[in-house]
Amino acid sequence: MVKDIQLRVNLVEERKENILLHKAAKQLGVDKNEISAVKVLRKSIDARKKDIIFNYKVAVYVNENIPEKSDYIFDYKDVSNAKEIHIVGFGPAGMYAALRCIELGYKPIVLERGKNVQDRRRDLRAINQEHFVNEDSNYCFGEGGAGTYSDGKLYTRSLKRGDVRRIFENLVFHGATDQILVDAHPHIGTNKLPKIIQNIRENIIKFGGEVHFETRVTDFIVKNNKLQAIQLQNGQEMSVNSVILATGHSARDIYELLHKKEIALKAKSFAMGVRVEHPQEIIDQIQYHCSGKRDELLPAAAYSLVHQVNKRGVYSFCMCPGGFIVPAATANGEVVVNGMSPSRRNNKFANSGIVVELDIDRDFKKYEKFGALKGLEFQKDLEKIAFYAGGRTQTAPAQRLADFIDGKLSTDLNDCSYQPGLKSAPLHSLLPKIIGSRLRKGFAAFGQKMHGYHTNEANIIGVESRTSSPVNIPRKENLEHIEIKGLFPCGEGGGYAGGIVSAAMDGERCAEAAIAQL
């Protein structure tokens, strides 16, 4: 007999050996010796009250052995001589499109503008230490995409877009810890993701797929509204059957190319703001209702905040407990910040994007001349402002949080995890009013919701501008572009995903759609 049950365990009980076994036996009214195993299916922490509770969903095996194998089987076959599907971009969408092609008996040809995970590290070091951005290899571009070196959070609300569990099981199949199958907010960590991504690449190649790095696509050859070929930066032209376009939300050259060729695009609403960084101990004390260091059984505390200001949402985005702030620019002459956490989330700082919803129909009147790229041009301008305010390097403009709310320039700044460094700047006046004024009110409201959050021990750093794509590449119900046959816009770059898991699921769907059209 197998029973799925819910168990609640307090902090004192959590220290006890076999507590789940004892509680399961009591709840089911059986002798604990009859229970073969208790398998944790889901674990979360409820810290809303002073008595912190661990919530467990468990499968209890009574007089029955726990299955040794997963219900998910990944049947990859040799596709060396199979029909080809071209995939542009090797982030989560591109990787999972490639894996799905192999499962379905088609050969993926992956073209990635950036470098592999190992070689990419040198270019990240150059951004942090020398303030030089390689436009093809950075925190956004390269093997694994933006997620590789910017956290690896797997939480998604996109539960209706595909089989979320299948993506998690596949990550475990390629080397991730099976803890991601259990945690309510699963996270791999930027220190562990590169190996998993390398394993995925090696598997694709092992079964006959191809992965080409430092291979930027520069043109699409279209005849009679059918994609015939793609052109590479070196001038090579490749004939294609179907192309899955999975270039990510920062591939501006792709949007500009499509716009120039008058291939249908749409401007899309998105969000922009800043990244705020507190000492992790402050967030722990607020969330866990403690005065000193958090209990060793508790993870670094996270938070999620939202507030309406003048009919617009101001909210936390990509919150990174025990994490780092990283430079996410994709070109010299701009400053962009993002956050990441290692697997142990053991850094002394907690950071989060705090962003404002922007409406593409109301907020970009001055940019109407750019048509579908109006949000993109606004995004560019804000990143240039941050670049000049930071001193024309990757040093980022920053301000103490309370000073920002009060509209005062900070005479000095707190220690920070952002390696290129900070420069004090009046972000309260530099940011456009539609963002800056709402952020100030939003932060003040967050201080009311989390007492201690509104503090000058926190820095705000600009700008958090790459939350999602400012452009949508429209597609039909069959996931093919509305005008161009053989082109399948995919993942975050197409405007159809908002993170690793949703992008991976969209990659699988696009692979199925591209194959169906053949």
State residue 104's pLDDT score: 97
Residue 130, φ and ψ in degrees, nearest 5:
-110, -5
Is the Cα dihedral 429, 434, 436, 441 positive or negative? Answer: positive
Instruction: Indicate where the chain has its CATH 3.30.70.2700 domain(s).
Output: 2-62
How buried is 96 (Cβ within 10 angstroms: 0-12 exposed, 13-18 middle, 19+ buried)?
buried
Tell whether the model's pLDDT for residue 41 goes beyond 80.
yes
Mean pLDDT over 460-479 rounds to 97
Helix or strand (DSSP H, E) at 2: strand 2-10
Q: How confident is the model over 326-349, as a mean pLDDT? A: 95
Element (H, E) at 447: helix 433-449
Instruction: Select from 397, 444, 505, 511 the least CA-distant residue to 170.
Output: 505
Q: pLDDT tens digits for 96-151?
A: 999 999 999 999 999 999 999 999 999 999 999 999 999 999 999 999 998 887 66
3-class SS letters over 191-252: CCHHHHHHHHHHHHHHCCCEEECCCCEEEEEEECCEEEEEEECCCCEEECCCEEECCCCCCH
Q: What is the pLDDT of the chain when averaged over all its residues?
A: 95
CATH class of this structure's domain 2-62: alpha beta
Please compute the mean of the pLDDT values over residues 16-24 and round it to a whole number. Answer: 97
Mean pLDDT score, 297-312: 96
Write the pLDDT tens digit of every residue in 494-505.
Answer: 999 988 999 999
CA 205 to chain centre: 25
- Helix and strand numbers, DSSP H then E, in the chain: 14, 22
The C-alpha atoms of residue 431 and residue 463 are separated, in whole angstroms, by 9
Pairing relationship of beta strands 243-245 and 84-88 according to DSSP bridges:
parallel
pLDDT attached to residue 191? 87
Q: Percent of the chain at pLDDT above 90? A: 91
**CB-CB contact of 454 with 446 (8 Å):** yes
Residue 169's SS3 state is helix
> Which of 419, 425, 486 minimizes the C-alpha distance to 223?
486
Amino acid letter at 194?
P
pLDDT at 159: 59
Query: Given this structure, which CATH class describes domain 84-266+473-517?
Result: alpha beta
- Residues 6 or more apart whose Cβ sits within 8 Å of residue 188: 152, 154, 171, 176, 177, 180, 196, 343
DSSP label of 127: I
Specify the pLDDT at position 160.
62
Residue 158 confidence (pLDDT): 60
pLDDT, tens digit, 9 for 90 and up, residues 192-251: 899 999 999 999 999 999 999 999 999 999 999 999 999 999 999 999 999 999 999 999
Residue 152 pLDDT class (50, 70, 90 cuts): low
| pLDDT tens-digit readout, 371-419 | 999 999 999 999 999 999 999 999 999 999 999 999 999 999 999 999 9
Residue ranges of the chain that CATH labels 3.50.50.60 = 84-266+473-517
Q: How far is CA 399 from CA 161, 413, 437, in A?
A: 40, 7, 15
